[in-house]
Structures are given as structure tokens and as C-alpha cells.
Amino acid sequence: MVENQDLYKKAAAEKAVEYVEDGMVLGLGSGTTVYWLLKRLGALVDQGLNIKGIPSSLRTEGWAKEFGIPLTDFSEVEQLDLAIDGADEIDPDFQLTKGGGGSLVREKLVNAHAKQVIIIADQSKMVACLGSFALPVEIVQFAWQRTVDKIEAFGAKSVLRVRDGEVFVSNNGNYILDCAFESIEDPKVLHNELKLLLGVVETGLFIDMTDRVILAGPGGAQVIN
């Protein structure tokens, strides 16, 4: 049985497809909401829609191939027409926390090179203030313990991400720290400060990168500009 939350994710993803035009090169985000997007795009490609996509994770690449979406990469494309991605938290200024799936660096690169970014989510992802979801921060493996010390000096309690009993390694060969801050009052300042730390590759704070959010709940999918 598909749970309500999955129905909302599907509704948001299918609404976003209305912004896809023939001939577009798309940034394909990551996560279970994006799964529904890929499924719908695959069906449209079957019916003749001409698009190409750049996947932002290996999991997305696998799904895109399964659904028959033609893929390309940055050796062929300078700028994407539209990127559609999920999020872990969205604040009222459209600042985001992402990286729950561990693909934050590729997601950020894909979204940064798109003319337009649409975020799709179920309504539970919209929050008054970021911070309930632990902030993923990608760090290099070498001396990771010392990078933890520096990050914890900002008031976070951080945990090295582990999956299936193994330390999680990102698509780029790095570790992910999940950093619990009590709340993130100024996401832009925190992002800039963390980025300056030696050992930090990227943070899961996506600042000023979102043009439109599509949220879905019991009343259907709603576009917020």
C-alpha cells in the first residue's frame, strides 16, 4: 500500500512535470520524491517527449536508466534548463537543508548550473526555521576527527554517518557528518562559516538556490513562488 506521504510526494512530483518542456535538459535531483518524477518523465519519454537529464546521484542515474530517460553530462552541457529536486527541510525564504540521501555535493552542482530550480516535497518538509533535521556536512576522510572538533565548536552535536554497519562514503569518496544544531537562525552565515573550515567539502544548506517550491498534502499539490 502506498502511504499518504508517498501520495503527497507523487502529487508534488507530477505537478512539477507541468514545467517541463520539449527539448529541455533537466537536472534530476535525488530522493524518494524525485523517484516519482523520474517515473512520470519516463512515461512521457515513451510517448515522445524529447528531454535529457543529468542525474545528481548514482541512485537517480539507476532509476533514470530504468525508466528510459536519456542522460547527458557536463562535458556536453553548459547550463541546464530546469532542475527538479527534493529537500529535507524548506524554510519560508526557500533556504533548504538537503543531503539526507548523501548526495548533497552533486545535487548542489546540478542545481547551481540550472536556469531554474524547483523543489518538490510533501508538506511536512516546510518548517518555520531550519534545524530539526540534522544538517549533513560532507568532509574529507583524512583527519575527519579534527574536522568534527571544529564543527562542534559551532554548537553542533555531530555524528559520523553509518549505513548498514559501515561508515557511509559519498559518491565523491568523502564522509558525511550529521550535525544537530538546536536551530539554524541564519542559514547563510552558518553555511559560509562552515565552508571556511579546513576539511569541509560542502554543507547541506542550499542558500538562495530555489525559484519555486511545490508542496503537496491532503488538499493536493500547491505551487509556491
Q: Which stretch binds ligand 5RP (CB under 6 A): 15-23, 102-110, 140-148, 164-172?
A: 102-110
Which listed residue (103, 158, 174, 210) binds ligand 5RP by CB under 6 A?
103
Query: Letter for the amino acid at 151?
Result: I
Q: Binding to ligand 5RP (CB under 6 A): which residues in 12-51?
A: 29-33
Contact status: 98 vs ligand 5RP (CB under 6 A): yes
107 is catalytic: yes
CB neighbours (10 Å) of residue 223? 14
Which position among 89, 107, 138, 202 bears the catalytic label?
A: 107
CB 158 within 8 A of CB 178: yes
Q: Which helix (H) or strand (E) is 140 found in, with range?
A: none
Does residue 81 bind ligand 5RP (CB under 6 A)? no
Cell output for 213:
517550491
| 100 near ligand 5RP, rule: CB under 6 A | yes
86 is in an annotated binding site: yes
The grid coordinates listed for 132 are 530539526
Q: How many CA atoms lie within 13 A of 70 on its CB side?
A: 11
CB of 106 to ligand 5RP, least distance (A): 9
Q: Cβ-closest residue to ligand 5RP? A: 31
DSSP letters of 86-133? Answer: --SEE-TT--EE--TTS-HHHHHHHHHTBS-EEEEEEGGGB-SSS-SS
Q: What is the DSSP string of 143-155?
A: THHHHHHHHHTTT
Asked if 85 interacts with ligand 5RP (CB under 6 A), we say: yes
CA–CA dist 215, 150 (Å, integer): 36
Closest separation in Å from C-beta 33 to ligand 5RP: 3
Whether residue 173 is annotated as binding a ligand: the answer is no
The annotation places the binding site for substrate at 30-33, 85-88, 98-101, 125
The annotation places the binding site at 30-33, 85-88, 98-101, 125
- Residues annotated catalytic, as ranges: 107
List residues near ligand 5RP by CB under 6 A.
Answer: 29-33, 85-88, 98-104, 107
